[in-house]
Amino acid sequence: MLFGRGVLRVIPVIAVTLFGLLLVTFVIGRFMPQDPVLAIVGDRATAEVYQRVYLELGLDKPIWTQFWIYAKKAITGDLGISVLTTKPVIEDIARFFPATLELSTMGTFIGVLFGVPAGVMAAVYQGRWPDYLVRFVGLLGYSAPVFWLSLMGLLIFYANLGWVSGPGRLDVVYQDLVDSVTGVVVIDAMLAGEWEVAANAFSHLILPSTVLGYYSMAYISRMTRSFMVEQLRSEYVTTARVKGMSEFKVIWRHALGNIAVPLITVIALSYANLLEGSVLTETVFAWPGLGQYITSSLLNADMNAVLGGTLVVGVTFIVINIFCDILYRLVDPRAK
């Protein structure tokens, strides 16, 4: 019952956020210097063709009518036709987005796996060498450009040592051997029983996801340390220690448990940032993801693709926020 009322309270917020997202993308599309008609018909089209497409796009109608048409199409999944690929934008996004989702999910997993324990260790040993080490590694994660780390990773671990595979999602010899079901090559290959293809895809995934995971780890470890330092100074921690509770339970059960809600927020923000900001990593590793798709479309003035991709990223943020609200209620009874 309480959960149902919580969902009903969230729906208006989602509707307003989605409306604002549609409005922003519409305004960007209408006020860009690029002529949307010329982007479709080309510079050599006749005046008759130009006028026909102009009317088909509804550009002769009032601006609010244009927005209403745009919003209805976007909600039903009609994001227009990509000039670059000549395919519906929604089909392009369905093809490219799983690659970004795969890369960002793996990067976030690495960031959480190493970032949370590192942050806890830094807080427990505050002012000593483990703390300085974690902070130094985190500082490097924020300071080093992502493209430089990506290039160095390719040079060392792929070109020189040969520990991992290079750019792309698969070697050429394995291309088109597995049908796309989920869009995630590793999972699709496992479902098809093609374990050699799955191993090759995973080898390609390791290096770019580790680069993103390093940035995620730097952020998560810093925030975890900050939250834990505050908790370890609390009176309930002192009381638990005085009562003879083991240090392991004090740190990993009570203190870490009390930072679950803000830590979920940090991890969600990190995940969303990786989904949004993996453009450089995808470019260096020739990873056919949404970031590379939006960048290529922007360079070619393909505004339907750019706005469609931007809209999908915005909706993804909304979905992540909703998921976080649900997790809050599961990990913290007070949130109910």
Q: Which of 36, 82, 13, 4 is CA-nearest to residue 326?
A: 4
For 122, 187, 251, the CA distances from 131, given in Å and listed in that order, are 4, 38, 16
Q: What are phi and psi of 88, to 5 degrees?
A: -55, 135
CA dihedral 109, 178, 319, 252 (to 10 degrees): -20
pLDDT of residue 123: 92
Q: Tens digit of pLDDT per residue, the chain (336 long)?
A: 545 555 566 677 777 878 888 888 778 777 766 666 766 666 677 777 777 877 776 777 787 888 888 888 888 888 888 877 878 888 889 888 989 989 999 999 999 999 999 999 999 999 899 899 999 998 888 788 888 888 898 899 998 888 888 888 888 888 878 888 888 888 888 988 889 989 999 999 999 999 999 989 999 999 999 999 988 888 888 888 888 888 888 888 888 888 888 899 899 888 988 887 677 888 888 888 888 888 888 777 777 888 888 888 888 888 888 888 788 777 766 655
Please state the pTM of the whole predicted model. Answer: 0.83
- 3-state class of 88 per DSSP? strand
Q: Describe the crossing of helices 290-299 and 260-277 by its angle, rounded to 10 degrees.
A: 40
Token reading at 183: 């869009």
Can you tell me the distance from the alpha carbon of 38 to that of 46, in angstroms, rounded to the nearest whole number?
Answer: 11
pLDDT of residue 36: 67
pLDDT of residue 209: 92
| Boundaries of every domain in the chain | 18-75, 97-294+316-335
pLDDT of residue 42: 65
Fold adopted by 97-294+316-335: MetI-like fold (1.10.3720)
Q: What are phi and psi of 249, to 5 degrees?
A: -65, -40
**3-26 CB burial, b ≥16 within 10 A, e <16:** eeeeeeeeeeeeeeebeebbeebb
Q: For the CA atoms of the chain, what is the radius of gyration?
A: 24
Token reading at 238: 């002192």
Q: What share of the chain is helix, strand, coil (3-state, %, to 5)?
A: 75, 0, 20
pLDDT of residue 41: 66
pLDDT of residue 217: 92
Token reading at 328: 């809050």
- Please say whether the beta carbons of 106 and 270 come within 8 A: no
Tally of CB atoms within 10 A around 179: 9
- Please say whether the beta carbons of 96 and 292 come within 8 A: yes
